[in-house]
Amino acid sequence: MASIDKRPNGKYLARWREVPNGPQKTRQFDRKRDSERFLDGICGDLARGTYVDPAAGRVTLRDYAEKWRAMQVHRPRTAHTVEVTFRVHVYPKFGTRPVSSLLPSEIQAWIANLSTELAPGTVRLSFRWLSAVLKAAVADRVVASNPCTGVKLPRLERRQVEPLTTEQVGELADAVGDRYRALILFAAGMGLRESACFGLTVDRVDFLRRQVRVDRQLDDTENGQPVFGPVKSQAGVRIVPLPAVVAGVLARHLERFGTGPGGVVFTNKNGAVLTRSTLSNTWIKARAEVGLETVGFHDLRHFYASLLIARGCSVKAVQTRLGHESAMVTLDTYGHLWPDSDDETRDAVDGVLGDRAEYQLRTTSAGRA
């Protein structure tokens, strides 16, 4: 499957086939020794099943990544994030480079440079998508290994959740105006993510049983109609109890504003599907008005979780209501909000060991006397 021929020009032509009877590959060398070493490597890779066509890695990162993006089954929002990430952060540095030419040291330097300009989360996200593309390139035998392996990333500092107060939630609800007041109170009283709130349709609300079915979210709009997609995870498919106060707010909202396209409950001022972009300006103005400039819509979900915890709900109950995939996610996010257990720990030990320790103390004292 491999041979070396000396050409009339004095150079050496290495020939090999990836599979028997397959197309012949060639590469020219100035010295016979170099051609022999090259073919030894080729034959070894073929035997080990790690062979990569030397010509495959010549494709540029941009070309390969764009083909990769076109094959992904991403939600519209995720697809947009990936496109922006590559266009803004990856292609300016590596877009015209052959995939096989990328080195771990170059990617590490790229990460270090991004870290001086961007938040750790953004840097890690950019790295994540680049690594995914290069991992696919390894699987496609475009390159032999992923140069992202072993690259160190900036530490992601987890901000401890500080829940809004009831007064602050009320102030936000008033500040957004009549059109969106019910949305704020619904999010704070149900704990749904923003996209699930926007994608709520009237057929998912059961006023009689006082519950809401969460099984989809708003992904996009098309010709003015909502495009629904699955929730973040299978654990996110759930039935959430509808408190009486929230049910009342929701009923009054529907009576006043009706439903929008596709039966969506919350709409913009024109009665169209509500999206992040259409709510953005109202939200920014409202939080500035009440002095909460750093508060995001997701903080309403944190508020809901804090209410459950304050009422003594277990970790499992909070996990279920929020649709977390595991209790560990719930604890990592809200563990600090559960009441301190120092007193309970002391009481437990005293209750079990107290009598025995007191008896031993009396016995020892009597013996010394």
Specify whether the CB–CB gap between 272 and 223 falls below 8 A.
no
Specify whether the CB–CB gap between 240 and 216 falls below 8 A.
no
Residues pairing with 221 in the sheet: 226
Give the pLDDT of the chain (369 residues) as one tens digit per residue: 688 888 899 999 888 787 777 778 888 888 988 888 888 877 777 776 666 666 667 899 999 999 999 999 888 888 999 999 999 999 999 999 999 899 999 999 999 999 999 999 999 999 999 999 999 999 888 888 899 999 999 998 778 899 999 999 999 999 999 999 999 999 999 999 999 999 999 999 999 999 999 999 999 899 999 999 999 889 999 999 999 999 999 999 999 999 999 999 999 999 999 999 999 999 999 999 999 999 999 999 999 999 999 999 999 999 999 999 999 999 999 998 987 656 566 666 666 666 655 656 556 555 555
364/149 Cα distance (integer angstroms): 64
Nearest-5° Cα angle at 190, 187 to 194:
40
335/364 Cα distance (integer angstroms): 43
Residues, the chain, total? 369
pTM: 0.71
Q: In what order do the strands lie in the sheet with 24-29?
A: 2-6, 12-17, 24-29
Choose the CATH number for 166-335 among 3.40.50.2300, 1.10.443.10, 2.70.98.10, 3.40.50.720: 1.10.443.10
| Class of the CATH domain delimited by 58-139 | mainly alpha
Specify whether the CB–CB gap between 137 and 64 falls below 8 A.
yes
Q: Is 21 helix (H, G, I), strand (E, B) or coil?
A: coil
Name the token pair of 149. 């392996």
Q: Tokens 């494709």 identify what position?
A: 59
319/327 Cα distance (integer angstroms): 6
The CA–CA distances, whole Å, from 200 to 148, 186, 267 equal 40, 11, 10
Q: Is 238 helix (H, G, I), strand (E, B) or coil?
A: strand
Evaluate whether 58-139 and 166-335 have a shared fold.
no
Specify whether the CB–CB gap between 227 and 218 falls below 8 A.
yes
Specify whether the CB–CB gap between 62 and 95 falls below 8 A.
yes
Residue type, 334: Y
Domain boundaries, the chain: 2-51, 58-139, 166-335, 339-369
